[in-house]
Amino acid sequence: RQRTDSTHVLAAVKALNHLELVGETLRHALNVLATVVPEWLKQHVLLEWFDGYGERFEDYRLPKDKTERDAVSVVIGMDGSHLMACIDQASDLPRLAALPAVQTLADVWQ
C-alpha cells in the first residue's frame, strides 16, 4: 500500500540534502587547500580523495539505496574528521584553520 503523506519523502530529501551538504563542504575545503598549500595537502590526504572529491556532489552521483548512502556518509565523515585533525596538528601553518572554507567545514562537522 502506498503512503499518502509526504513525511517519508521529506525525510528522504532532507537526508539527501545533508549528505550533499557535507560532501560539497569537504570538496570545497579540499579545493581551497589544494590551491593554498598543495604540497601539504598531498602529504596529508589519500590519493583516492582527489578522484572521489574532484566532482560536485549532485543527486545523480549519490547512491539511491539507503544502506549505500549511509556508508558514503560514514566515509565522508571520517575523511572530514581526518582532514580537520591534520589541520589542527599543523601548528606550523596556523593560517589553514583561519581559511573560510576550513572554518565552514569545522562548523558543518560540529
**pLDDT tens digits, residue range 28-53?**
999 999 999 999 999 999 988 988 89
Query: Is position 18 within any domain?
Result: yes
Residues 6+ apart with CB under 8 A from 100: none
Q: How confident is the model at residue 4 (pLDDT cuts 50, 70, 90)?
A: low
Query: Is position 2 within any domain?
Result: no
Provide the number of structural domains found in the chain.
1
- Nearest-angstrom CA–CA distance, 57 and 22: 9
For 23, the domain range is: 7-109
Residue 59: alpha-carbon gap to chain centroid: 14
pTM over 0.95: no
State the angle between helix axes of 7-36 and 100-109 in degrees (0 to 180), rounded to the nearest 10.
150
Residue 79: alpha-carbon gap to chain centroid: 7
